[in-house]
Amino acid sequence: MSLDPKHPGVDNLLFYGRDFSETIVERASGTYIYDQNGREIIDFSSGQMCATLGHNHPVIVEAIEKSCKSVIHLDSTKLSRAVLDLAQELCQLLPAQLQKAMFLNTGAESNEAAIRLAKLHTGKFEIVGFTGSWHGMTAGAQSNTYASARRGYGPSATGNFSLPAPNCYRCPIRHCSEKCDKTCLEVGFEQFDSWSVGAAAAVIIEPVQSAGGMIVPPPGYLARLKELCEARGMILIFDEAQTGLGRVGSNFAFETEGVVPDVLTLSKTLGGGVPLAATVTGEQIADDARNKGFNFYTSHVSDPLPAEVGLAIVRLIVEESLAQKALEMGQYLTERLRELQQRFEVIGDIRGRGLLVGVELVEDRYTKRPAIDLIQRASKRCLELGLNINKAGGGNAIWRLAPPLNIEKRDIDRSVAIIEDSLIQCGAS
């Protein structure tokens, strides 16, 4: 890595998972980031999937300024108006079964809280996740994160198991071709039943899996999943860090199937770039947990500043119907990508929902061998041409396209043109 010599501080940074980009970002605005040379780059990753409204949106800046002039941080037993308003207005978007919220900082924290609720409420400890999942890097959340970062750290928390994610393009049990019939779900639970020691507490999944490669469950899958959970007395947790608040073309991904989880976790899209997360459940679980002494007390639970930002984001998403816009722009983006798919054999699959779209590159469509070298070279070339996109899917070669919800068609057109140029210049056919 060769960064600008004017920024030697990179030598003092601890490596934390991926090589640093050579691009130093000097400022960001809307759909764009600007590097040290003033070059304009379209951000098709929305930062770390958090900048739902784009970078430095005026309502976010205003909310931060408002909090800075009133109150930034409080003892966690003291509540600000912003926390109370956010709780009320977020829950107004949710069904009656989800009306009790707590506000934390990161998605990992929100999932830790959800897992602790499930264990305390059920009196059990076994947690089931999806292969390819990403729920965070703290102990409980990481134990149920199967996308990566598992090797070399010793044992995970006791009682964690995984189900095969319903990847229609690459059937995990080599059973289906292109269309999932949910056999993987039935087989997965049969295996779990054989492993379980009778302490099944919860299933935690992303209703549309992101780090695993934009895996969208087939119709009826989530409903059947809930039936299987209820038959075992298990709590169903939906982690909507990347799918909540409009990203997939609805306020929440679970709305598409009409399957309400027992616990919902939110983060990334709720804070718009500011650390904010939420764990939301129903009155029965909340009351039972309180009676049993539930404790998830942190230094920054119910902090006023991020709550002020979250409130502004929730209001804007509703006022500007951004979920509907994400649905429309997502359809347009997918149509443009399918035009490319007709031209390039290396584009094996395009999938996703709303403005969470996956493009899987393969060496050929028959073997479906991941085009690892190509996606690395093409991603680098995209950045050079003015488009920032990132990869997902573990060992597969998948672009994750997740621009801000308020992106315009002209920026989608420009981005697709850059993707096309990068593939051509990298010798793809």
Active site annotation includes 400: yes
* Residue 414 a catalytic site member: no
- Residue 68 Cα distances to 200, 304, 310, 397, angstroms: 45, 10, 15, 43
Torsion angle of C-alpha atoms 276, 277, 281, 285, degrees rounded to 10: -100
Catalytic residue among 43, 109, 206, 303: 206
Strand partners, 202: 127, 235
State yes or no: is 268 an active-site residue. yes
Catalytic residue among 35, 100, 134, 353: 134
Given the residues 43, 351, 400, 411, select the one marked as catalytic. Answer: 400
Among candidate residues 242, 308, 351, 399, the one labeled active-site is 242
Contacts of 89 (CB under 8 A, 6+ apart): 311, 314, 315
How many whole angstroms separate alpha carbon 415 and alpha carbon 136? 30
Beta bridge partners of 245: none
Helices (H), 242-389: 254-257, 268-271, 283-291, 304-319, 322-343, 372-385
Nearest C-alpha neighbor of 261 from the set 94, 128, 139, 146? 94
Residues in the chain: 429
In 3D space, the residue among 261, 257, 278 whose CA is nearest the CA of residue 269 turns out to be 278
Q: Which of 268, 351, 353, 381 is catalytic?
A: 268
The DSSP call for residue 8 is G
Longest dimension (CA), the chain: 63
Burial of 229 from C-beta contacts in 10 A (0-12 / 13-18 / 19+): buried
| Helices marked H in 182-303 | 183-195, 221-231, 254-257, 268-271, 283-291
Establish whether 112 is a catalytic residue: no
Indicate the burial class of 291 (C-beta count within 10 angstroms; 0-12, 13-18, 19 or more): exposed
- Which residue among 239, 262, 303, 360 is the active-site one? 239
Q: Catalytic site residue 365?
A: no
Q: Is 336 a catalytic residue?
A: no
Catalytic residue numbers?
Answer: 134, 206, 239, 242, 268, 400
